[in-house]
Amino acid sequence: MVLVALAAAAAVHADSPRLLHSERSLYREVLVYQTGDQRCMCFTRNCRVGRQSCMDMKHPDHFELNYTRMMLGALYLKPQPRSVLVIGLGGGTLPRALVRLLPDVSIDSVEIDPAVVRVAEKYFDFSPSERSRVAEQDGRVFVKRAIRERRRYDLIMLDAFDHEYIPEHLLTQEFLREVKSLLAPDGVLAANTFSSSRLYSHESVTYASVFGTFYNLKRENRVIFATNGTLPDLPTIATNSRIHEAKLRTFGIETETLLPLFSTRADWNAKARVLTDQYSPANLLNLE
């Protein structure tokens, strides 16, 4: 009996989160916890709600979080992007997977917080290379400069928001117009955002004002897919989903789970006010 109890206690101990790293960066606290084999980057002590990025140490390619799985659904719209921009690095899950998946891809990642880049490299097996570069910069500053340099991306992944704080200048009509002009013809924007709060309607009408109809995937997070061109219809999406199916399955991404999430239904208040550089109280709207 005592032995069983001790063993149970030991098992509980092994499964309680261990703090591997914490540092106060210029912007926030960056924490790394490990529970069993799962290692997560968090920006708050309450790691359960604020997980930015997670990795299974035994299967590092496996996608642990639903939203990152949903983000790779962008490949159903754009199966072979040659140039990708990732805004918001986190643990580097997205660029790491894209490099594995697409042999010819060239990726720029932008991360405002140098501490996040360091932690991604040290704890999440993220290694920048010639094909996968990192700029420590504000996302919007990078986008503006890239437009001036006449660069174009086939795929732009916007993953810069967390529950604690939204960079409000990355959620305005003007910013989305800039992103659209940075997309190659028929390029795709994938944005990881929110599915609840008053912000939902404001965000939706803002995206609609720039991109027209877009795909809206909802689970605990919300992922938006919009294009600079015509939005591929659902049969095309279903056909495209087979292209990387086998490889994506090794990442834990199942076509049968992801495909049914694709929806163009406008389930928001169309009269909500569009967010602009002049009017962007996103954090206040996200309080409720």
The catalytic site residues sit at: 159
CB of 212 or CB of 281, closer to other proteins: 281
Query: Is 19 a binder of other proteins (CB under 8 A)?
Result: no
- Out of 27, 197, 218, 252, the only residue in the binding site for other proteins (CB under 8 A) is 27
Does 26 bind other proteins (CB under 8 A)? Our answer is yes
C-alpha 178/C-alpha 173 separation (Å) is 9
Among 90, 95, 167, 232, binds other proteins (CB under 8 A): 167
User: What is the per-residue DSSP string for 140-182?
Assistant: HHHHHHHHHTT--EEEEEE----SS---GGGSSHHHHHHHHHH
Q: How far apart are CA 42 and CA 238, in angstroms?
A: 34
Stretch that binds other proteins, among 98-106, 117-125, 253-261, 274-282 (CB under 8 A): 274-282
DSSP single-letter state for residue 236:
H
Q: Pick from 174, 186, 208, 259 the residue near other proteins by CB under 8 A.
A: 174
C-alpha–C-alpha distance, residues 171 and 205, integer Å: 11
Q: Strand pairing of 106-111 and 132-136?
A: parallel
Pick from 50, 138, 208, 261: which binds other proteins (CB under 8 A)?
138
Give least dist CB 271 to other proteins, A: 16
Cα 284 from Cα 288, distance rounded (Å): 8
Please give the size of the binding site for other proteins, defined by CB under 8 A: 25
Residues that bind other proteins (CB under 8 A): 26-27, 112, 137-141, 144-145, 148, 167-169, 172, 174-175, 276-281, 284-285
